[in-house]
A and B are shown apart, each in its own frame.
Chain A
């Protein structure tokens, strides 16, 4: 019976060899980053390059931390990402519930209006938003990084699809008992929609964590840079010193990679879900 799944042109060993080769190409750059990050200042300029560091230079990391305020970049990224994620999940859950369950005049029109924003590239709104933010005097502030992103039409759409598929019985019973809409959303819908909420939270978190173009244009000073922007300027400035560059990159990716190892299934399945259903 399982043979239908295995019914392929490659045998077991050929499959393993192919899969291993590709995974080596995928993983090796990470290993290279780790080993380069520990190499000494002279060793990175040995050609052909050594694979394993001759000596582990832990001081590369302290050098990076002394050169640029990495901790500050982390704090900025974390603060901005958490504020945006929490706000988008709340505003989207409210709107998704209205679109899924409340019948009111103009609902379909408004839903189409929300969906229409999904095809608009961010670059279209970026210029006027930049002008708006600079007129408000928000350049180089947290407001500029957070306030324009309080709502997310994709999250509304995603949660609406999930809410609409939930059984109505519990909700109807609660309404007979006199529960209000907000209470139904909080106490019945949201607990049932936990998997969808987890998926969309992770999805928003990852995409905001890696946000690049907007923080690049609205921040000027080092103290306001988020992790991607801080790392980018560090890479530019340390361009010649490859070991420091990799030490910085390693420090930037470690938390997300650890998170990924801890919750691999949720990551992969969640992202597949937002992909195919979006």
Chain B
């Protein structure tokens, strides 16, 4: 078994070597190899210094006890990982991240698909609506968070005055441990919705009219046309929106950092990246923060793997 593996590697090496020799046989191939590398070199060197080497460095860092800049970093094995995974604060952040996704993503997908279906009709003023939904997408996150801080303001905010005018009790929104995360997730939904509308709309417009014409002839109702044509043929797009939505919610930071700068009351809005930021730049535990960043990477890779392995084969690619 092991010798098979070894000879496999050797064969691979030999094959590559012979391919490499083949590359040098003619002046044209030699020239192409050097031109290729020359064209790649600016980006390759930059990626090497600022991406590949830092990844390796971070990996190494995650096994050391680096705390502040003064202390020497000692190798401590998996301690950063085991310690993190046993820390309630980590699980709180993890749970909050999932909670954020659980509020935002289903609402986002249903609303974005619904609006895209409405916009995909022959109506006047589609351009205006499309612009209105897209406006929050291009607005800076910090400005969006500032606007919503004013709206959520518990004493002088617009939202509470609207609630009270409807006879409902005022809330403390971002300062209420139970409402902080839903309030943050709603702003994220508000900001990102237009993007997903445009993605769904592009998907809808790529579905051939042939199917609808055939269904119409067979007497299919509007719901049946949606259920048996639109929905299955749109599944790659739906799926894209879902996966990107989940991965992005594991990376959310700036919105929460402005809306709830201290992580919300009782850390109720502290997400993974927020926790990582606090470890590294407020508590200066670089080793542990590096471990958290690799746990984050593992989560993202798991989501990508589940996507490739289990869900993608069931998605209908026409």
Contacts and interface: CB of A to CB of B under 8 A. Distances in A.
Interface of A: 2-10, 12, 15-16, 18-20, 22-23, 25-27, 29-30, 32-33, 36, 44-49, 90-92, 94-95, 97-99, 102-105, 107, 110, 113-114, 117, 119-132, 147-153, 156, 181, 206, 209-210, 212-213, 216-217, 227-228, 231-232, 235-236, 242, 245-246, 248-249, 252-253, 256-257, 260-261, 264, 267-268, 271-272, 275-276
A275 B132 contact: no
Contact of A271 (B33, B54, B153, B195): B195
User: What is the predominant secondary structure among interface residues of chain B facing chain A?
Assistant: helix
Contact of B147 (A6, A249, A275, A276): A249
Give the interface residue-count category, chain B: 35 or more
Contacts of A110: 40, 44
Contacts of A90: 42
Contacts of B293: 121, 123-124, 126-127
Contact of B199 (A91, A127, A147, A272): A272
A243 to B, nearest CB: 9
Closest 10 CB pairs of A and B: A104-B36, A98-B39, A151-B46, A212-B254, A23-B132, A48-B161, A4-B212, A151-B43, A128-B54, A128-B57
B146 A105 contact: no
Contacts of A27: 132, 135
B129 A275 contact: no
22 contacts: A8-B118, A8-B222, A19-B115, A33-B143, A33-B150, A94-B40, A104-B23, A119-B297, A120-B51, A121-B250, A123-B296, A125-B50, A150-B46, A153-B43, A217-B281, A231-B143, A235-B142, A246-B147, A252-B143, A268-B131, A272-B201, A272-B202
B20 A105 contact: yes
B257 A32 contact: no
B251 A212 contact: no
A121 B303 CA distance: 13
Contacts of A120: 51, 55, 297
Given A94-B39, A232-B257, A47 B161 contact: yes
Given A18-B118, A213-B254, A249 B44 contact: no
A92 B43 contact: yes
Nearest to A239: B149
A185 to B, nearest CB: 8
Contacts of B77: none
Contacts of A127: 58, 61, 280, 286, 289-290, 293
A120 B43 CA distance: 17
Given A5-B122, A117-B51, A151-B46, A227 B140 contact: yes
A70 to B, nearest CB: 13
B105 to A, nearest CB: 16
Contacts of A132: 54, 57
A213 B273 CA distance: 10
B39 A26 contact: no
B120 interface: yes
B278 interface: no
A253 B253 contact: no
Interface string B51-64: 11111011001000
Nearest to A16: B123
Given A29-B148, A127-B290, A228 B140 contact: yes
B118 A26 contact: no
A267 B198 CA distance: 11
B254 A151 contact: no
Given A16-B123, A114-B47, A256-B138, A47 B199 contact: no
Given A10-B118, A19-B129, A26-B136, A128 B61 contact: yes
B242 to A, nearest CB: 13
B197 to A, nearest CB: 9
Nearest to A261: B131
Given A242-B150, A245-B146, A256 B32 contact: no
A44 to B, nearest CB: 6
A32 B33 contact: no
Interface string B1-39: 000000000000000000110010000010011011101
A181 B275 CA distance: 48
B55 A124 contact: yes
B138 to A, nearest CB: 5
B297 A48 contact: no
Nearest to A132: B54
Interface string B148-166: 1111010111100100110
A102 B38 CA distance: 11
Given A8-B226, A268-B131, 17 more contacts: A12-B123, A15-B118, A19-B119, A26-B190, A95-B43, A121-B250, A121-B293, A123-B293, A125-B58, A127-B58, A129-B50, A151-B43, A212-B141, A212-B253, A242-B153, A245-B149, A276-B202
